[in-house]
Chain A
């Protein structure tokens, strides 16, 4: 199918990449790029790092929009979709219909149950979240970061730089333990501890405790209370699909799509919100990472323009914490067998290969980006679908 008009809902990395790629590939039809936030498109990875630290301002994290400026509509939320007619309703009561609709609405942060309106409790997803958190961090003396994943660890590292006392609290034994396995997670725990972050891990957080509407700490499942004047909740996120209730699309931990990122005839999904059938892995997957947002957006643009190509990427994520740059090609399993292939753990520079049933499934680079990329070829086979075309990454 080749569409005469395209409506992209969500103008963050995935939606913007879709729109840009459409224009780059020669699409000349009507294009609309709609976003609920009042801001022009911006990049999210720096929000927990350079932007939160105050090293970069908002201009520095703007995404490039020069080829799609005429299509951009910001500050107008999509509130409903009828998949059968490809019609989107917006918060300003407009209805927009297009030959192809791309869902790229991303995620919304999970919150702790109850009392979401307390002062001194923050989440980090949007630019406005980051701006508010940045201001409160500057004044905070005791910060508790609730969570033990990538975002929590990056926020803890950044918060520590501002001189506050920082505690990270979450159920895993070490930061990113489920994601990276015991070796890398153990090194991350050592790194945070060495930089003065207190790790209070291995116990779930029960609730935020408060006095007169303001957070005073968090209570752990084992009964201990960690005092805080600022609580940052970074316990993951959920696909932003509330607006798709009643749309006719299948929603199950994201917008469920086939291997060409098609959710229904003329409806596509890209980025954090998309749960698509990865032909190499043989199952539905949803990836919350920056490079997938762009790559999947480009793939969706191709699909809209008639390319008949399944989307089968090797997942890639990175995180920067203090002076450690960690990059992962593929999806490590916490119970994989891990072998260091380059460098040495003791030197703070190494590449580790994760194997499952003897087959390489992921590569992790710790301050060794080039060498990790070179090892990526070893894991690519695990993600290649049989129907995957030559030359596709």
Chain B
């Protein structure tokens, strides 16, 4: 699984961090999401798909 994050679209909601805390974090200064791991393992897959689905800015894409 490959995760793509568009920081220009991110609205810093942090929903992705709640869905997949091992894959996403937020910058301290402005809350914009950052990728901790752009090729997470199978155990993180459900959380990452959930993050991509709930991101209110459509900033996360997943490639299998």
Which of A's residues lie within 8 Å of B, judged by CB? 17, 20-21, 24, 43, 45, 63-64, 290-291, 294-295, 298, 316, 318, 320, 325, 327, 365, 367-373, 393
Give, as a whole number of angstroms, the nearest-CB distance from A117 to chain B: 34
Tell me the complex Cα distance, A291–B14, Å.
Answer: 11
- Chain A residue nearest to B46 (CB atoms) is A24
Let me know if B31 and A368 touch, CB within 8 A. yes
> B53 near A325 (CB under 8 angstroms)?
no
Interface of B with A (CB < 8 Å)? 11-15, 17-19, 26-28, 30-32, 49-50, 53-54, 56, 58
* Total inter-chain residue pairs, C-beta < 8 Å: 62
Structural contact, B58 and A393, CB atoms closer than 8 A:
no
Q: Are B53 and A291 in contact (CB under 8 A)?
A: no
Q: List 23 A-B contacts (CB under 8 A).
A: A20-B53, A21-B53, A24-B49, A45-B56, A63-B58, A291-B56, A294-B53, A298-B50, A298-B54, A316-B15, A318-B11, A318-B13, A320-B11, A325-B31, A327-B12, A368-B31, A369-B14, A369-B30, A369-B32, A371-B28, A372-B31, A393-B18, A393-B19
Chain A residues with Cβ under 8 A from B53's Cβ? Answer: 17, 20-21, 24, 294, 298
A325 and B57 alpha carbons, distance in the complex (Å): 14
- Given A370-B27, A370-B31, A373-B17, A290 contacting B49 (CB threshold 8 A): no
Q: A294-B53, A318-B12 are in contact. List 9 more A-B contacts (CB 8 A).
A: A21-B53, A24-B49, A43-B58, A45-B56, A291-B15, A325-B30, A369-B31, A370-B31, A371-B28
